[in-house]
Amino acid sequence: MTGAPVRAVLFDWGGTITPWHEIDLRAQWTAFADGVGTLACARDDLAGRLYAAEALAWQRGRSLGVSARLPEILEACGLARGEALTEAGTAAYRSFWEPHTLTHPGVGPLWEALREAGLRVGVLSNTIWDRAYHRSIFERDGVIDLIDGDTYSSETPWVKPRAEIFTYAAREIGCAPEECVYVGDRSYEDVHGPQQVGMRAIWVPHSRIPVEQQVSHDASPDAVAHELTDVAAIVAAWNLARR
């Protein structure tokens, strides 16, 4: 096999590091509105406006490649940062998401195996949530010390599959893009995206991506991991083939 040795493996978060869940995306905003304390029609109106604002943000990401942040979505609906009602709604929103943020049980052993093999482990996620919140999740689940570098679209101008965010993530973990492998469950963002900058891509095809979130493309993964734990063996075989 030709090419650079693999020195780092970067992982998508939702649906890869976390198991795939079917989630009612409007219900998250109903939970937010409940936290704010709105009732009846006012609750439904606020939830609907928040749902539409988030959907627009993600649509702009898919069409223009630009990132978004939770506070911006809230502010677009008249919810200012730091206000008591905004904080109460955010707490209820995070309680809604808690069971859907649990790290896959195979992630810890996989990351330990990769690091024992001398590889760096990274995270690159399309997200509207901030770094502190994501890192609190990894700390809660006991895997924060296994991460060598993490990049969140909420703190960059871009989202996957923009080439710039993959180049940025490689730099953050201290490797050239061609020395990195990217692992994810969405073929447009997680296969087409990293391959643009010379990363190899491992597709984990276990998520039922909604039709409205799918984007047609011609890229094919460099490997398929039918189980997340297959990643270590795939990467080891690539490096072994270079010897």
Could you tell me the residue ranges of all domains in the chain? 8-19+102-241, 25-99
Per-residue pLDDT, averaged over 229-238, amounts to 95
Tokens in use for 104? 């896959």
Q: How far, in Å, CA of 166 to CA of 158, rounded? A: 10
| Cβ proximity of 238 and 117 under 8 Å | no
Q: Looking at residue 1, what is its pLDDT?
A: 41
CA 93 to chain centre: 18
Per-residue pLDDT, averaged over 12-40, amounts to 90
pTM of the full structure: 0.92
- Whether the pLDDT of residue 192 is over 70: the answer is yes
- Whether the pLDDT of residue 166 is over 50: the answer is yes
Residue 35's pLDDT band (cuts 50, 70, 90):
very high
Name which residue leads in pLDDT, 242 or 234. 234
Q: Quick count: other Cβ atoms within 10 Å of Cβ 117?
A: 13
Any idea which of 48-52, 68-72, 214-218, 230-234 has the lowest mean pLDDT? 214-218
Q: Looking at residue 209, what is its pLDDT?
A: 59
Per-residue pLDDT, averaged over 53-67, amounts to 94
From the list 144, 118, 106, the residue with the least C-alpha distance to 228 is 106
Per-residue pLDDT, averaged over 93-104, amounts to 96
Domain 8-19+102-241 has CATH 3.30.530.20: no
| Cβ proximity of 57 and 143 under 8 Å | no
From the list 75, 100, 86, 88, the residue with the least C-alpha distance to 13 is 100
Strand-pairing partners, residue 158, are: 66
Strand 120-125 vs strand 149-152: parallel, antiparallel, or unpaired? parallel
The DSSP annotation for 202-231 comes to: EE-------GGG--------SEE-SSTTHH
Residue 128's pLDDT band (cuts 50, 70, 90):
very high
Q: What average pLDDT does the chain have?
A: 92
Across the beta sheet with 180-184, the strand order is: 149-152, 120-125, 8-11, 180-184, 200-203, 223-224
- Whether the pLDDT of residue 211 is over 60: the answer is no
Q: Looking at residue 215, what is its pLDDT?
A: 58
Q: How far, in Å, CA of 112 to CA of 132, rounded? A: 23
